[in-house]
Amino acid sequence: MQDCIALERIPENIGELSKLKVLNLCGCSTLKTLPSSIGTLKALEDLDLTHCFMLEALPNNVGKLSNLKTLRLNYCKNLKELPMAFGNLQNLVYLWVEGASFFHLPNSFSNLLNLEVLDLEDCMNLHDLPPTISGLVKLKTLYMGNTKVEKLPEDIGQLESLKILRWQDSLMLELPRNLNLLNLDLRGSKNLTCLWECDPHTQVQNN
């Protein structure tokens, strides 16, 4: 159903596709809602909602997608928040929400125990990360350039798997003292503090 620009709603009976593994709705720019029955797609592993500009909310039942591994919400500009049940997606590995409009992440976010890649770039309404983000024990890559986040939670240094942090084009940055990264990209950012306490083996990009 990719690029079905006239598609505004998905029928409830999509929940009957019990063996569906990939649902590609990328470019369905007038899609406004998803049916609650989407939570019955227990085999679904990949859901792409990129450029669904009119999507206003995700049903709470999205938290029932127990096998979902990849979710793309890039440039869902009307999506202001994620449901609290989002943290139930415990098999989620890749989450791409670049350019979305939400202001915060739900506290249940820390329950995404298998999340490895989190892309928050160009989420220009995002002001902070929940302190519970330290629960993302498998997180390897965090992209958060061009957001309003000025400070990372101190406990993020407990994420021993986190090796790549991309935080470009930000005005005020405060880095925790105990980051242990392989690559740190701060290009276009200003007013850096605590950078000198990063691991000396970290490859830093700041031009």
Taking only the tens place, the pLDDT of each residue in 7-22 is 788 889 999 999 999 9
pLDDT at 195 over 60: no
Say what the pLDDT of residue 190 is.
Answer: 66
CA distance 3 to 135: 36
Question: Of 17-26, 60-69, 75-84, 113-122, which gets the smallest average pLDDT?
Answer: 75-84
Lookup: tokens for 149 = 């986040």
pLDDT at 157 over 90: no
CA distance 52 to 88: 23
Average pLDDT, the chain: 86
Per-residue confidence at 196, pLDDT binned at 50, 70, 90? Answer: very low
Tell me the mean pLDDT in the region 57-68.
94
Per-residue confidence at 132, pLDDT binned at 50, 70, 90? Answer: confident
Taking only the tens place, the pLDDT of each residue in 73-112 is 999 999 988 999 999 999 999 999 999 998 888 888 889 9
Q: What percentage of the chain exceeds 70 in pLDDT?
A: 87
Tell me the mean pLDDT in the region 181-206.
66
Q: Which residue has the tokens 């000025």?
A: 150
Say what the pLDDT of residue 192 is.
Answer: 63
Say what the pLDDT of residue 139 is.
Answer: 96
DSSP the chain: -TT-TT-----GGGGG-TT--EEE-TT-TT-----GGGGG-TT--EEE-TT-TT-----GGGGG-TT--EEE-TT-TT-----GGGGG-TT--EEE-TT---S---GGGGG-TT--EEE-TT-TT-----GGGGG-TT--EEE-TTSS--B--GGGGG-TT--EEE--S-S-EE--TT---SEEE-TT--SEESGGGS-TT-EEE--
Pick the CATH number of 12-205 from 3.90.1150.10, 3.40.50.720, 3.80.10.10, 1.20.140.10: 3.80.10.10
